[in-house]
Amino acid sequence: MIKNAAGRMVPETINGIQQIPYMGIGKFKPKGNKTASAIPSNSNFPDNGNKLVNSLKEALIKAGLKDGMTISTHHHFRNGDLVANQVFDIAHELGIKNLRWFPSASFPCHAHLIPYLEDGTIYSIEGSLNGPLGKFTSEGGMKGTGMLRSHGGRYQAIQDGEVKIDIAVIGAPTADAFGNANGLYGPSACGLLGFALADSQYADKVIVVTDNLVPFPCIPWQIQGNYVDYTVVVDKLGDPEKIVSGTTVVTKSPDRLLLAELTARFCDAAGIIKDGFSFQAGAGGTALSVALYFKSIMKEKGIKARFARGGSNKYLVEMLNEGLIDYILDGQTFDLDGVQSMAENPRHTWTSPFTSYNYHSKGNFADMVDVVILGATEVDTNFNANVVSHSDGYLLHGIGGWQNCLFSKTVIIPLPLFRDRIPVVRDEVTTLCGPGELIDVIVTERGIAINPLRKDLIEKTKDSGLPIKTITELKEEAEKICGKPSKPVFDDRIIAGIKWVDGTLIDVVRQLKK
């Protein structure tokens, strides 16, 4: 075990692969060249561009599925995904063992895979472990060790050759027989397919699976058929109602509305909401409300934003259509309004983890966002934050684009001072996902703490009338009400690693003591 630059003890290897301990922000300098797949030749592909095979099983067999391989899927179908489960049903049926599943994220619907983790079909999962898979892993159920990466970190890991994908299976709401594909149309429409971009570019074999085959050309092509080996038509990729919400609902909770209002007022006081600014708010109830407060401030001031980053939803689309935002740069659509807008409005532009988040690039879009509103399960008095585990030690969430968004110019985390009577401001976060030096403001219902590094924000908001406090004051206030929280009790066994955006290891998660 080695102590990394954040003071966390991390192992030298995970699943037999050498790890680089986190070295600080921007300190690790990558060496060497990007990875690249084998040079293919048109002469090995059908003249007429028709790559259809009869079934997913046939495609997996043709792609050479065998023990120990790494199989990737994307999570644009969210909790409605039926693709990953089908892939491992087939692997199980074929008696394949020790697979590494490399999803861009996993969801509760993938609890279906727990028997395959138990019987050795799947050895490990590298990707978020939301809900049941996280609980199962925290209790020691997974044979291998998990590895959690941000969306950008996943692109980086594939690009840099850290993770070699043997077979990428890309569920595509619309595709042609050549493999051009998009997420915009069809019964399983999910908006876009950016999370599968790196998989298409770098995997050894690429299978596109669709339930909506169209004649060539499938336009637009979010996935390019030139990267695709086989195409397959299946009955159903996902449960539409679980892929995108019919409508997104803003929180009615007075507590969350207060958090949102304080956040928006803080941004206004700090001079962030000005003509041509840019912002990113997530899809959670609080974040949605922040966007609505932004909207009313913008209308009042008669200004507009140059761009907003999505996840998109009805409210962001309304702002775009009302001319309050020039562009939505979108990574995933959270409701039907988002999908429709992306299909129809060229100002609602699809992005990818490459353009938006890849840290091993010549810059990325996250750098250019003026303010981002993020969530967290815990923060600590050094402004470090946790998004993957709860204070009871259970690993229950993925990182998503969260780490990548920390590079925005101002990072604000609104969160309730305690949840279920457990304070969220701690002496030390259970799992370190984001270094405090990148987190600028913590907004709670009982006060706002500004990172002392951001003297500019402290200065700008000192006469705002907002309840500015120190982070220690917030912690003490919570503990006065709820008492000092206890720490979870862990075994020694590491059940998951947490990567930083540059591929170094920032922390690990341990198995819970029975």
DSSP letter string over 347-387?
TEEE--HHHHT-SSSS--GGGG-SEEE---SEEETTS-EES
> Could you say which residues in the range 328-357 bind its own copies, by CB under 8 A?
329, 346-347, 349, 354-355
**Amino acid type, 279:** F
At 437 the three-state DSSP class reads helix
Residue 365 sits in the site that holds its own copies (CB under 8 A): yes
User: Least separation, in Å, of the C-beta of 44 and its own copies?
Assistant: 8
Site for its own copies in 189-228 (CB under 8 A): 206, 215-217, 219-221, 224-228
Among 37, 85, 251, 464, binds its own copies (CB under 8 A): 37
Looking only at residues 420 through 459 of this chain, which bind its own copies when binding is defined by CB under 8 A? none
Q: Is residue 186 within 8 Å of 337, Cβ to Cβ?
A: no
Task: State the number of CA atoms in the 13 A half-sphere of 35 facing the CB.
Answer: 19
Judged by CB under 8 A, does residue 42 bind its own copies? yes
What's the CA gap between 502 and 193, in Å, rounded? 23
User: Nearer Cβ to its own copies, position 121 or 364?
Assistant: 364
The encoded tokens of residue 429 equal 């976060």
Site for its own copies in 72-111 (CB under 8 A): none
* Minimum distance, C-beta of residue 224 to its own copies, in the bound complex (Å): 6
Q: What is the Cα–Cα distance from 251 to 267, expressed in whole angstroms?
A: 20
Residue 217, preceding peptide bond in cis (omega within 30° of 0): yes
Token pair for 95: 């008696």
- Pick the binder of its own copies from 18, 43, 54, 486 (CB under 8 A): 43
Query: What is the total count of residues that contact its own copies (CB under 8 A)?
Result: 65
Binds its own copies (CB under 8 A): choice among 306, 419, 446, 460: 306
Instruction: Tell me how far the alpha carbon of residue 346 is from its chain's centroid.
Output: 24
> Which listed range, 92-100, 279-287, 362-370, 472-480, lies at the site for its own copies (CB under 8 A)?
362-370
Q: Environment class of residue 260 by beta-carbon count within 10 Å: exposed (0-12), middle (13-18) or buried (19+)?
A: buried
Residue 460's alpha-carbon distances to 271, 467, 468, in angstroms, are: 8, 14, 12
Residue 36 in contact with its own copies, rule: CB under 8 A = yes
Answer yes or no: are the C-beta atoms of 405 and 372 closer than 8 Å: yes
Residue 486 in the binding site for its own copies (CB under 8 A) = no
Centroid of chain to Cα 329 = 15
Query: Is residue 64 involved in binding its own copies (CB under 8 A)?
Result: no
Could you tell me the smallest distance in angstroms from the CB atom of residue 491 to its own copies? 36
Query: At its nearest, how many Å lie between its own copies and the CB of residue 41?
Result: 6
**CA-CA distances (angstroms) from residue 456 to 171, 367, 369, 443, 459?**
46, 19, 17, 17, 5
51 binds its own copies (CB under 8 A): yes
**Is residue 307 part of the contact set for its own copies (CB under 8 A)?**
yes
**Contact between 266 and its own copies per CB under 8 A:** no
Task: Give me the residue label for tokens 């790890």.
Answer: 19
Residue 115 interacting with its own copies (CB under 8 A): no
Q: Does 240 bind its own copies (CB under 8 A)?
A: no
DSSP state of 197: H
Helix, strand or coil for residue 1?
A: coil
Instruction: For residues 207 and 60, give the distance between their C-alpha atoms in angstroms, rounded to a whole number.
Output: 8
Does 149 help bind its own copies (rule: CB under 8 A)? no
For position 40 contacting its own copies by CB under 8 A, the verdict is yes
- Nearest-approach distance from CB 314 to its own copies, in angstroms: 22
Is 363 a binder of its own copies (CB under 8 A)?
A: yes
Q: Quick check: 154 binds its own copies (CB under 8 A)?
A: no
Indicate whether 31 belongs to the interface with its own copies (CB under 8 A): yes
Residues that bind its own copies (CB under 8 A): 25-43, 45-49, 51, 159-160, 178-179, 206, 215-217, 219-221, 224-229, 276, 306-307, 327, 329, 346-347, 349, 354-355, 358-365, 367-368, 407, 409, 502
